[in-house]
Structure 1
Amino acid sequence: MASQSIFERIGGRDAVEAVVSDFYDRVLDDPLLEPYFEETDMDQLRSHQAQFISAVTGGPVDYDGDDMQTAHEGMGITEDAFASVASHLETALRENGVPDDDIEAILTEVAAMEDDIVEA
Protein backbone atom coordinates (compact mmCIF):
# COMPACT_ATOMS: atom_id res chain seq x y z
CA MET A 1 0.00 0.00 0.00
CA ALA A 2 1.36 3.40 -0.97
CA SER A 3 1.96 5.87 1.82
CA GLN A 4 -0.59 8.61 2.23
CA SER A 5 0.17 12.14 1.08
CA ILE A 6 0.11 14.97 3.59
CA PHE A 7 -3.13 16.07 1.90
CA GLU A 8 -4.75 12.72 2.73
CA ARG A 9 -3.30 12.54 6.26
CA ILE A 10 -4.66 15.96 7.26
CA GLY A 11 -8.16 15.22 6.00
CA GLY A 12 -8.23 16.27 2.36
CA ARG A 13 -10.05 19.19 0.80
CA ASP A 14 -12.26 20.01 3.80
CA ALA A 15 -9.24 20.20 6.10
CA VAL A 16 -7.29 22.37 3.65
CA GLU A 17 -10.24 24.75 3.31
CA ALA A 18 -10.55 24.97 7.12
CA VAL A 19 -6.83 25.78 7.43
CA VAL A 20 -7.06 28.42 4.68
CA SER A 21 -10.10 30.05 6.29
CA ASP A 22 -8.43 30.15 9.70
CA PHE A 23 -5.17 31.39 8.13
CA TYR A 24 -6.79 34.35 6.37
CA ASP A 25 -8.84 35.26 9.45
CA ARG A 26 -5.52 35.57 11.30
CA VAL A 27 -3.76 37.41 8.46
CA LEU A 28 -6.55 39.97 8.08
CA ASP A 29 -6.51 40.62 11.84
CA ASP A 30 -2.77 41.37 11.73
CA PRO A 31 -2.12 45.15 11.46
CA LEU A 32 1.19 44.47 9.68
CA LEU A 33 -0.45 42.35 6.99
CA GLU A 34 -3.97 43.75 6.56
CA PRO A 35 -2.86 46.65 4.29
CA TYR A 36 -1.49 44.17 1.74
CA PHE A 37 -5.03 42.86 1.20
CA GLU A 38 -7.07 46.08 0.98
CA GLU A 39 -7.61 45.81 -2.79
CA THR A 40 -7.76 42.01 -2.92
CA ASP A 41 -10.60 39.74 -4.00
CA MET A 42 -10.44 37.54 -0.91
CA ASP A 43 -12.72 34.83 -2.32
CA GLN A 44 -10.36 34.37 -5.26
CA LEU A 45 -7.31 34.52 -3.01
CA ARG A 46 -8.74 31.93 -0.61
CA SER A 47 -9.45 29.67 -3.59
CA HIS A 48 -5.90 30.05 -4.92
CA GLN A 49 -4.44 29.47 -1.45
CA ALA A 50 -6.49 26.28 -1.06
CA GLN A 51 -5.20 25.11 -4.46
CA PHE A 52 -1.64 26.00 -3.45
CA ILE A 53 -1.81 24.21 -0.09
CA SER A 54 -3.46 21.21 -1.75
CA ALA A 55 -0.71 21.07 -4.38
CA VAL A 56 2.21 21.35 -1.93
CA THR A 57 0.67 18.65 0.27
CA GLY A 58 0.33 16.18 -2.59
CA GLY A 59 -3.38 16.59 -3.17
CA PRO A 60 -5.15 15.94 -6.46
CA VAL A 61 -5.30 19.66 -7.23
CA ASP A 62 -3.12 21.57 -9.64
CA TYR A 63 -2.33 25.14 -8.65
CA ASP A 64 -3.42 27.34 -11.56
CA GLY A 65 -2.52 30.74 -10.13
CA ASP A 66 0.43 32.87 -11.13
CA ASP A 67 3.92 31.83 -10.08
CA MET A 68 4.87 33.27 -6.70
CA GLN A 69 7.10 36.05 -8.06
CA THR A 70 4.45 37.29 -10.51
CA ALA A 71 1.63 36.99 -7.97
CA HIS A 72 3.48 39.11 -5.41
CA GLU A 73 5.32 41.52 -7.72
CA GLY A 74 5.03 45.18 -6.76
CA MET A 75 3.49 44.47 -3.36
CA GLY A 76 6.63 45.49 -1.45
CA ILE A 77 6.44 42.48 0.84
CA THR A 78 9.05 42.67 3.59
CA GLU A 79 10.89 39.89 5.39
CA ASP A 80 8.87 40.72 8.52
CA ALA A 81 5.59 40.41 6.60
CA PHE A 82 6.69 37.10 5.08
CA ALA A 83 7.69 35.78 8.51
CA SER A 84 4.35 36.89 9.95
CA VAL A 85 2.43 35.11 7.17
CA ALA A 86 4.45 31.94 7.78
CA SER A 87 3.75 32.20 11.50
CA HIS A 88 0.00 32.58 10.91
CA LEU A 89 0.08 29.59 8.57
CA GLU A 90 1.89 27.51 11.18
CA THR A 91 -0.68 28.50 13.81
CA ALA A 92 -3.61 27.73 11.50
CA LEU A 93 -2.13 24.33 10.65
CA ARG A 94 -1.48 23.53 14.31
CA GLU A 95 -4.92 24.75 15.47
CA ASN A 96 -6.52 22.53 12.82
CA GLY A 97 -4.77 19.41 14.08
CA VAL A 98 -2.05 19.01 11.46
CA PRO A 99 0.82 16.88 12.86
CA ASP A 100 4.15 18.60 13.53
CA ASP A 101 6.06 16.67 10.85
CA ASP A 102 3.52 17.70 8.22
CA ILE A 103 3.58 21.32 9.41
CA GLU A 104 7.36 21.31 9.04
CA ALA A 105 7.12 19.90 5.51
CA ILE A 106 4.56 22.52 4.46
CA LEU A 107 6.54 25.39 5.99
CA THR A 108 9.68 24.15 4.23
CA GLU A 109 7.84 24.46 0.91
CA VAL A 110 6.70 27.97 1.83
CA ALA A 111 10.17 29.04 2.99
CA ALA A 112 11.64 27.96 -0.34
CA MET A 113 9.53 30.67 -2.01
CA GLU A 114 10.71 33.56 0.16
CA ASP A 115 13.15 34.94 -2.43
CA ASP A 116 10.37 35.06 -5.03
CA ILE A 117 7.96 36.88 -2.69
CA VAL A 118 10.01 39.30 -0.56
CA GLU A 119 10.89 42.57 -2.31
CA ALA A 120 11.68 45.03 0.44
Structure 2
Amino acid sequence: MTESQSIYAEIGGRDAVESVVDDFYDRVLDDPLLQPYFEDTDMNELFAHQVQFVSAVAGGPVEYDGEDMQTAHEGMGITEEAFERVADYLAAAMAENDVPEEDIDAVIEEVAALKDDVVGQ
Protein backbone atom coordinates (compact mmCIF):
# COMPACT_ATOMS: atom_id res chain seq x y z
CA MET A 1 0.00 0.00 0.00
CA THR A 2 1.35 3.42 -0.84
CA GLU A 3 1.29 6.11 1.81
CA SER A 4 -1.28 8.13 -0.12
CA GLN A 5 -3.60 5.18 -0.76
CA SER A 6 -5.94 3.95 1.94
CA ILE A 7 -6.50 0.30 2.80
CA TYR A 8 -10.02 0.80 1.45
CA ALA A 9 -8.71 1.79 -1.98
CA GLU A 10 -5.94 -0.82 -1.90
CA ILE A 11 -8.36 -3.72 -1.40
CA GLY A 12 -10.89 -2.61 -4.01
CA GLY A 13 -13.33 -0.23 -2.32
CA ARG A 14 -16.96 -0.89 -1.45
CA ASP A 15 -17.38 -4.09 -3.48
CA ALA A 16 -14.40 -5.65 -1.72
CA VAL A 17 -15.61 -4.55 1.71
CA GLU A 18 -19.08 -5.99 1.01
CA SER A 19 -17.50 -9.31 0.02
CA VAL A 20 -15.45 -9.36 3.22
CA VAL A 21 -18.49 -8.54 5.38
CA ASP A 22 -20.61 -11.17 3.62
CA ASP A 23 -17.93 -13.81 4.22
CA PHE A 24 -17.50 -12.56 7.80
CA TYR A 25 -21.18 -13.00 8.67
CA ASP A 26 -21.26 -16.46 7.06
CA ARG A 27 -18.53 -17.47 9.51
CA VAL A 28 -20.05 -15.70 12.52
CA LEU A 29 -23.56 -17.03 12.02
CA ASP A 30 -22.26 -20.60 11.61
CA ASP A 31 -20.64 -20.45 15.05
CA PRO A 32 -22.83 -21.81 17.89
CA LEU A 33 -21.05 -19.57 20.43
CA LEU A 34 -21.89 -16.43 18.44
CA GLN A 35 -25.35 -17.26 17.05
CA PRO A 36 -27.22 -16.22 20.22
CA TYR A 37 -25.81 -12.69 19.99
CA PHE A 38 -27.59 -12.24 16.66
CA GLU A 39 -31.04 -13.58 17.51
CA ASP A 40 -33.71 -10.95 16.87
CA THR A 41 -31.21 -8.85 14.90
CA ASP A 42 -32.07 -7.17 11.62
CA MET A 43 -29.19 -8.63 9.65
CA ASN A 44 -29.71 -6.33 6.66
CA GLU A 45 -29.29 -3.32 8.91
CA LEU A 46 -26.36 -4.88 10.71
CA PHE A 47 -24.70 -5.79 7.40
CA ALA A 48 -25.01 -2.17 6.23
CA HIS A 49 -23.53 -0.87 9.50
CA GLN A 50 -20.68 -3.37 9.32
CA VAL A 51 -19.85 -2.37 5.74
CA GLN A 52 -19.84 1.25 6.88
CA PHE A 53 -17.71 0.44 9.93
CA VAL A 54 -15.11 -1.62 8.02
CA SER A 55 -14.99 1.00 5.28
CA ALA A 56 -14.35 3.77 7.81
CA VAL A 57 -11.70 1.76 9.69
CA ALA A 58 -9.99 0.99 6.37
CA GLY A 59 -9.77 4.69 5.51
CA GLY A 60 -12.59 4.79 3.00
CA PRO A 61 -14.59 7.88 2.11
CA VAL A 62 -17.22 6.81 4.62
CA GLU A 63 -18.01 8.01 8.11
CA TYR A 64 -19.45 5.47 10.52
CA ASP A 65 -22.71 6.96 11.78
CA GLY A 66 -23.87 4.07 13.96
CA GLU A 67 -23.99 4.13 17.72
CA ASP A 68 -20.71 4.22 19.58
CA MET A 69 -19.40 0.74 20.33
CA GLN A 70 -20.24 0.78 24.03
CA THR A 71 -23.86 1.81 23.43
CA ALA A 72 -24.29 -0.57 20.49
CA HIS A 73 -23.18 -3.56 22.59
CA GLU A 74 -24.76 -2.57 25.89
CA GLY A 75 -26.60 -5.41 27.61
CA MET A 76 -25.28 -8.06 25.23
CA GLY A 77 -22.84 -9.59 27.72
CA ILE A 78 -20.20 -10.20 25.08
CA THR A 79 -17.39 -12.33 26.43
CA GLU A 80 -13.70 -11.96 25.69
CA GLU A 81 -13.84 -15.33 23.89
CA ALA A 82 -16.69 -14.14 21.65
CA PHE A 83 -14.90 -10.87 20.88
CA GLU A 84 -11.70 -12.71 19.95
CA ARG A 85 -13.59 -15.16 17.77
CA VAL A 86 -15.31 -12.32 15.90
CA ALA A 87 -11.95 -10.63 15.32
CA ASP A 88 -10.51 -13.94 14.09
CA TYR A 89 -13.42 -14.37 11.67
CA LEU A 90 -12.95 -10.84 10.37
CA ALA A 91 -9.27 -11.52 9.77
CA ALA A 92 -10.09 -14.83 8.07
CA ALA A 93 -12.72 -13.18 5.86
CA MET A 94 -10.24 -10.51 4.81
CA ALA A 95 -7.59 -13.14 4.05
CA GLU A 96 -10.11 -15.19 2.05
CA ASN A 97 -10.83 -12.06 0.00
CA ASP A 98 -7.16 -11.43 -0.77
CA VAL A 99 -6.61 -8.50 1.58
CA PRO A 100 -2.85 -8.18 2.15
CA GLU A 101 -1.59 -9.31 5.56
CA GLU A 102 -0.35 -5.85 6.57
CA ASP A 103 -3.81 -4.40 5.84
CA ILE A 104 -5.49 -7.18 7.83
CA ASP A 105 -3.18 -6.41 10.74
CA ALA A 106 -4.00 -2.69 10.55
CA VAL A 107 -7.77 -3.29 10.55
CA ILE A 108 -7.58 -5.86 13.36
CA GLU A 109 -5.49 -3.42 15.41
CA GLU A 110 -8.31 -0.87 15.08
CA VAL A 111 -10.87 -3.50 16.08
CA ALA A 112 -8.77 -4.63 19.07
CA ALA A 113 -8.73 -1.04 20.35
CA LEU A 114 -12.53 -1.30 20.77
CA LYS A 115 -12.40 -4.36 23.02
CA ASP A 116 -13.01 -2.51 26.29
CA ASP A 117 -16.09 -0.82 24.79
CA VAL A 118 -17.56 -4.13 23.60
CA VAL A 119 -16.68 -6.87 26.12
CA GLY A 120 -18.87 -7.16 29.19
CA GLN A 121 -21.26 -4.35 28.28
TM-score band by shorter chain is: over 0.9
Q: Given the alignment of the two structures, is residue 56 of structure 1 paired with residue 57 of structure 2, yes or no? A: yes
Percent identity of paired positions between Structure 1 and Structure 2:
68
**Which residue in the other structure is 2:101 paired with?**
100
Gaps of 5+ in 2: none
Secondary structure, counterpart of 1:107 in structure 2: helix
Secondary structure, counterpart of 1:77 in structure 2: coil
TM-score normalised by structure 2 residue count: 0.96
**Which residue in the other structure is 1:85 paired with?**
86
Q: Given the alignment of the two structures, is residue 74 of structure 1 paired with residue 75 of structure 2, yes or no? A: yes
Q: How many residues align?
A: 120
Q: What pairs with 1:6-17 in structure 2 (closer than 5 Å)?
A: 6-17=7-18
How large is the Cα RMSD of the aligned pairs?
A: 1.2
Gaps of 5+ in 1: none
TM-score normalised by structure 1 residue count: 0.97
> What letter corresponds to residue 30 of structure 1 in structure 2?
D
> What letter corresponds to residue 48 of structure 1 in structure 2?
H
CA distance in 2, matches of 1:39, 1:79: 22
Distance change in 2, residues 1:99/1:2 (3 Å): closer
Secondary structure, counterpart of 2:120 in structure 1: coil
